[in-house]
Chains A and B, each alone.
Chain A
Amino acid sequence: MKHRLVRLVTAGGLALVAAITAIAPSASASSSLTKVRFAYDFPWPDMELIPVIVAQKEGFFKDHGLKVSIVFPPTTSTTVQMLATKDTDIAMLSTSDLVVAVKAKVPVVSIANYSMKNNWGLFALPGSKLSLATLKGKKVFSWGDTWTTAMLPFVLKKAGLTAKDITVVNGEADTPLLKAGKVDFVTNTTNYAIPGIGGKPVQIVGKAAGVPAVPVWVYATGSSYAKKHGKTVSAFMAAMKDATQWSIDNQGKAVRYFDKAFPDSGYTHSYNVKAWKLTVPLLKNKSGDFFVQTKKQWTTLAQAMVDVKQIDKAEKPSAYFTNKFLP
C-alpha cells in the first residue's frame, strides 16, 4: 500500500514537471515577441480585418517576431487621434483621414495602401430607375466622414448639380434607411454596399461617379513610432503581405477565421463571404503588387480635398506617405 502511494506521488510529480517544462518554452517564446497594437478604422469589426485575423491565426505575425492585438476606436473619427496619442501603434484609416491629419499637424504617416482602387460610389435599391441623371432632388445618405465629404462634390459635378440640388441625410446606419425608402441613395464602397443591400443594387461607382482614382484605405503609423520602431513596422508589413496573400488563396477559411474571432460582429457568414470576395480584387495594383503607394494618388487626393475646401492646401506627397517599410 505504502509502495503504491509512493509510486503514485512520484508519477504525479514527474508529470507536473513535464507539464511545466512543456509550457515554459512557449511562455518565454511569447515574451520575446514584440507587442504591437493595431487599431481598426471602425468601432466594430468587419471583414476588412480578415488579413490581420489570418496573420494572428496562421502565425504570420509570430513568424515575424510580433504579437499583434486589435483595438477598436470609440468612434469612426478617432483612429487618427489614437495614433497621435500613442494609444495604438499601427492603424487602418481612410486616405482622406490621413490627409486631414497631416493638415492638422498630427504626426502620422501612411505606410501602405490597403486597397488599390476607388470603389466608392452611390448605390440604390435593385430595380430602381435611379441614375446620375435623376439625382436632382433626391435624398442621399452620408456617413459624415471625411471620405464621403470629399467624394460627394465630384459626383455632383459629374451630374452637373450643386449641393443645393440634393438632400444629404447624415446618420449612423445606411441600409435600413435605404430599404425603408427614407433615402434614395446610400454612399459606400462596393464591397460593403452590394452584400449589404442584396441582389444587384444600382451602382454609380468610381469613374462613372466622377471620383478620382485614389485608394480608399491605408495602413498608417505615428511618425515617431516609425522612427523608433522601423523594424517592427517592416515586420508588420511583411506579415501582412503573407497574410493577405493567404487570405486571397484561402478565402473560405479566412472568412471562417473572422467569423470565429468575432461571432458577435453583427455580420452573417454569407455577408462576410460575399464582402471579402468583393474586396479581393481591390488589393493588388495593375502590376500585381500589394500595398505600393504612389505620389500621384496622394497629390490627386490632397488637391481634390483642397478643391472641396476640406483642407487649405496640399502638402508635398512625402508628408503623407512612405513605401520604405514595404517588403
Chain B
Amino acid sequence: MNMQVAQETAEAATGSLSVGKLAVFYGDKKAMGPVDMEIPGRKVTALIGPSGCGKSTFLRSLNRMNEMITGCRVEGDVKLDAEPIYGPGVDAVAVRRRIGMVFQKSNPFPKSIYENVAYGLRIGGVNDRSELSGRVEQALEHAALWDEVKDRLHESALGLSGGQQQRLCIARALAVEPEVILMDEPASALDPIATARIEELIHELARDYTVVIVTHNMQQAARVSHHTAFFYMGDLIEFDRTDVIFTKPRQQKTEDYITGRFG
C-alpha cells in the first residue's frame, strides 16, 4: 500500500458514503435513479423532495433495508468508506450493523427500555452484564434520554411518550456503534417540542456519525443539515451545501420546490 492510498483511506474512514449509478426497481418499474452522490462523513445530509420522489427508497438502499421488500432490485453501488456494500459476498446483516436506521414511526420492541437499547448488542454477541449496562447508558446519554429514563430502565418502552420513544429508537441504533445513521422522517409524527429535541440531537450526532435524514419539512432540512439533496420524480436534481440549496439553487426545479411553487 503506497503512502497516498494509506492517507486516503485514513481520511475516508469517517463514514462517508459514495453512491455510484444507484438505481432501484420495484418489479419492472424503476422507482429511483440512477443517482451519483458523495455523502460526506460526520455531517448531516438532508434528502428533500415531494412525496414519491424516491428519497425514502434511496435512503433504504443505503443500508440494504430495501431487500426486506419483495420484488425490490438494486443496480449500481454504494461504498461505505470505499467498501462496496453491494459487493459480492457482502452480508446485508453486517452492512446494517455499520449503517443504522431510525424510522418514521417510532418502533420500540415491547420490551423494557433497557432491553430495547441492549438488543443490538445482544444479537451482536455482547453478553457481559457490565459492558451491556455501560453501553446502554452511553447510548441513552448520547440520545439525550438518560436523565428521563435512568430510574425506569426496566419498565416497558411502550410507556414512554412519542418523542421519548423516538429518542429511544435513536439510542437503540447508536448502541451498536454504527458509522452512519439513516433517518426516515424521524420527527414527522412528533409535536414541535419533541421535534426540536430530535433536531438538536441530530446536530449533536453529526460530531461522531454520518447522518442522512429524509424530511418533508424544509425548515427542518435547513435547520439541521450541512448538505441537502433535492429529489424529484426519482432523480437527484441537485445536491449542494444546505445554504446554497436554500439561497441560490442552480436548478429551477429546486427553486420552485423550495419556494413552495409545487410539492
Are A and B part of the same complex? no
Binding site for B on A (CB under 8 A): none
Partner-A contacts on B (CB < 8 A): none
